[in-house]
Amino acid sequence: MDPLTSLLSGIRAEGSVVSHAVLTAPWSVRFTDGAPLTMVSVLRGGGTLLLPDGTRRTVGAGDTAIVRGPAPFLLADRPTTLDGPHTEYEIACFTDAECTAEKLGGIRWGTDPHGATALVVGAYRASGHRHERLLRALPHLLVVSEDVEVCAWLETVAADAARLSAGSQALMDRLLDWALVCTLRTWFDQAGADAPSWYRGLADPVLAPALRAFHSRPDQSWTVASLAAQAGVSRALFAKRFTGLMGCPPLAYLTECRMADAEALLTDTDLSIAQVARSVGYADAFGFSAAFKRHKGLSPSTFRAAAAA
């Protein structure tokens, strides 16, 4: 397992929506799910995304936008639309029990075929806290532009999924999971030096084997020497290369990842402190508790009680 796979394991599409919309300007769509991440792929047409912090971004055919929640946001045909009378729509499938794929899939809004806008929308639920490190690495809004033919393929698959009865929602949700991974990978690749260090490390031929080994088996008692062995280089060369590329020494990175995993386990499971300690690579609960308190300023038991409250 690699770092991105690990972080994405805590977030999944649920109740994704296929909307083939014919919108008559002026119009706006409000997204009020409060989801950690919402993905909007524009298949045809387009509009302007408006975020609560004042950010405005025009998106058109072939663009996929990922918006970090939980604040509501808007997509409008143009920003000035909000200043006057217009038709308002809302997508709130997490909060509206009546919002189903059967109701929204293939909906036609308005009557003007020249204003056709087709969207695929995925709202992502979080299972626990493992995804929070991923969210901290993302801006409030990111946009990736793809070939329009890719979006045409997505529209065809999405439309086929919507027409099926058995398993159609699960199929759409998994399709959107796939699309999220592809979009994030493209964005991280384009970010270059601004991408998170753990993502840049995966592109390095020396660090990548060690990172994959650690994230696949975090319960092992990893050392700089054992990580260097995974990379096939000397301990000194590995430590120098790791610090230069990742921005911190190897053991500092391991501790940061282990504490993040420990927070998720303490919050989301009923594992004992000793079991959590072993799961994140500590031989005993005492050593783990001391390390956790240095990192968080709270003992594991106090942290768990505070999270539960």
57-73 pLDDT, tens digit per residue, is: 999 988 999 999 889 99
Cα 194 to Cα 190: distance, rounded to the nearest angstrom: 9
- Asked if 176 and 13 count as a contact pair (C-beta separation under 8 A), the reply is yes
Burial 66-97, CB ≥16 within 10 A → b, else e: bbbbeebbbbbbeeebeeeebeebebebbeee
How far is the CA of 39 from the CAs of 102, 130, 138, 156, 269, in angstroms?
20, 19, 13, 18, 28
Identify the pLDDT of residue 277: 94
pLDDT digits (tens, 9 = 90+) for 258-273: 998 898 899 888 999 9
Q: Does domain 200-308 have CATH number 1.10.10.60?
A: yes
Extract the tokens encoding 197. Answer: 């260090």
Mean pLDDT value of segment 84-90: 84
Mean of all residue pLDDT scores within the chain: 81
What 3-state DSSP class applies to 37?
A: strand
The residue whose two tokens read 């045909």 is 77
Mean pLDDT value of segment 44-48: 87
Q: Provide CATH code, domain 3-194.
A: 2.60.120
The angle formed by the CA atoms of residues 44, 79 and 46, to the nearest 5 degrees, is 5
How far is the CA of 175 from the CAs of 2, 40, 169, 197, 262, in angstroms?
21, 13, 10, 28, 30
Q: What percentage of the chain has pLDDT greater than the value 70?
A: 79
CA contacts within 13 A on the Cβ side of 211: 22
Identify the pLDDT of residue 110: 44
What 3-state DSSP class applies to 153?
A: helix
The angle formed by the CA atoms of residues 10, 12 and 16, to the nearest 5 degrees, is 165
Host H or E run for residue 264 = helix 250-268
Which ranges in the chain are annotated with CATH 2.60.120? 3-194
pLDDT band at 104 (very low <50, low <70, confident <90, very high): very low
The residue whose two tokens read 């792929």 is 41
Extract the tokens encoding 272. Answer: 């004992």
Which ranges in the chain are annotated with CATH 1.10.10.60? 200-308
The DSSP secondary structure of 160-175, one letter per residue, reads: HHHH--TTHHHHHHHH
Does position 213 have pLDDT exceeding 70, yes or no? Answer: yes
